Copies of this chain bind each other. A is one copy, B any other.
């Protein structure tokens, strides 16, 4: 196996482990910042390492479109391309089946409405996704799956579970890069019976890791956790579990409480660009008038470079002035906040105090401080 997972401690269902990959060891539970097009919005690899990132995620679909996997391979794969010598995970393009307009989907694969620069359709299949991901050369590749929207009927969700399993077997057959791990993905929408069956059948494949996908598609926190509860017990204990596209800090704490080891989400980087700051107490928008004259750091409880060196009034000024350094400093803080949260979670599991950490965190964290109105630019 190109990666190995060691379970160091458990506390309730929460797990503390290490994931060893060709590009280094990851302490779990871990959060993976997202660099869709091969860059974590304004952060250099040294900024990212400074924020304590141990692994990052990039998107196969986007990199396939530009600059193309062949060019990435030409400079040593994603690690050389991005100048990041630590672990990388690529998604499969399966999420884009859900999130982007499709031209059509068959048993063979999916064609997207988007076209290549030369006018060809973008077409992804299990085999094509594997080929692209092997060229991109991440440490961990994801199976090409069918992610259904929320809500979907039981029948639609059932069929997607079956197709995802058939596609998984095609991915396994097509995947032969020995220094890259392939993770299978559980689907099943919000149907517990489907989640359980998908997890059980996916787990029958001898894979180095498993993901729960098809969440964070609008179903909300409670249904997301129900989906995890229905799937997680059927995943093998000694393999890492990755909850895809999740989430807000409270989603992550609750995910860890349910035995999840890995998370990724665009929230800390995307919301940074709108001036939304994550803190232990919740989120706030630093460009609001009340912070315009505020000389305190973004988060008074944070040791990141941004919080150690700059004031809310400076960051607010930069964002209002369209200075890209504002986005850089915001992104750096939000990523550091998520990774600091993971460190606190790991510490609590090791100390056997995760349940009290969870209770205390959820009692003091106000996830609804960021309203939809706050997300407008």
Taking Cβ atoms with an 8 Å cutoff, the residues of A that contact B are 37-47, 66-67, 71, 74-75, 80-83, 292-293, 295, 305, 309-311, 313-314, 316-318, 320-321, 323-329
Task: Specify which chain B residues have a CB less than 8 angstroms from the CB of A81 in the assembled complex.
Answer: 311, 313-314
Judge whether A67 and B324 touch: CB under 8 Å: no
12 contacts between A and B (CB under 8 A): A38-B323, A39-B323, A41-B323, A43-B325, A44-B325, A44-B328, A67-B317, A67-B320, A74-B313, A81-B313, A81-B314, A83-B314
Judge whether A292 and B328 touch: CB under 8 Å: no
A295 to B67 Cα, complex, angstroms:
13
Contact of A329 among B44, B305, B316, B327 (CB under 8 A): B44
User: Given A66-B321, A324-B327, A324-B328, A313 and B42 touching (CB < 8 A)?
Assistant: no
User: Given A75-B295, A83-B309, A42 and B321 touching (CB < 8 A)?
Assistant: no
Judge whether B317 and A66 touch: CB under 8 Å: yes
Task: Specify which chain B residues have a CB less than 8 angstroms from the CB of A39 in the assembled complex.
Answer: 318, 321, 323, 325-326
Shortest Cβ distance from residue A229 to the other chain B in the assembled complex, whole angstroms: 38
A184 to B323 Cα, complex, angstroms:
30
A41 to B325 Cα, complex, angstroms:
6
Contact of A293 among B74, B293, B295, B323 (CB under 8 A): B74
* A314 to chain B: closest residue by CB: B81
Shortest Cβ distance from residue A276 to the other chain B in the assembled complex, whole angstroms: 17
Task: Specify which chain B residues have a CB less than 8 angstroms from the CB of A40 in the assembled complex.
Answer: 325
Instruction: Count chain B CB atoms within 10 A of each CB in A66, A311, A325 and give the residue with the most.
Output: A325
Given contacts A39-B321, A67-B320, A75-B313, 19 further A-B pairs with CB under 8 A are A38-B314, A38-B318, A38-B323, A41-B324, A44-B328, A45-B309, A46-B305, A67-B292, A67-B313, A67-B316, A67-B317, A71-B313, A74-B295, A74-B313, A75-B314, A81-B311, A81-B313, A83-B314, A324-B324
Task: Specify which chain B residues have a CB less than 8 angstroms from the CB of A311 in the assembled complex.
Answer: 75, 80-81
Task: Specify which chain B residues have a CB less than 8 angstroms from the CB of A293 in the assembled complex.
Answer: 71, 74
Contact of A66 among B41, B305, B320 (CB under 8 A): B320
3 smallest beta-carbon distances between A and B, as pairs = A83-B309, A39-B325, A67-B317
Contact of A305 among B44, B292, B320 (CB under 8 A): B44
* A81 to chain B: closest residue by CB: B314
Shortest Cβ distance from residue A188 to the other chain B in the assembled complex, whole angstroms: 34
Task: Specify which chain B residues have a CB less than 8 angstroms from the CB of A82 in the assembled complex.
Answer: 314
Judge whether A324 and B42 touch: CB under 8 Å: yes
A326 to B83 Cα, complex, angstroms:
13
Task: Specify which chain B residues have a CB less than 8 angstroms from the CB of A321 in the assembled complex.
Answer: 37, 39, 66
Judge whether A323 and B67 touch: CB under 8 Å: no
Task: Specify which chain B residues have a CB less than 8 angstroms from the CB of A320 in the assembled complex.
Answer: 66-67
Task: Specify which chain B residues have a CB less than 8 angstroms from the CB of A313 in the assembled complex.
Answer: 67, 71, 74-75, 81
Judge whether A37 and B74 touch: CB under 8 Å: no
Shortest Cβ distance from residue A334 to the other chain B in the assembled complex, whole angstroms: 15
A67 to B321 Cα, complex, angstroms:
9
A269 to B67 Cα, complex, angstroms:
25
A317 to B295 Cα, complex, angstroms:
37
Task: Specify which chain B residues have a CB less than 8 angstroms from the CB of A310 in the assembled complex.
Answer: 83
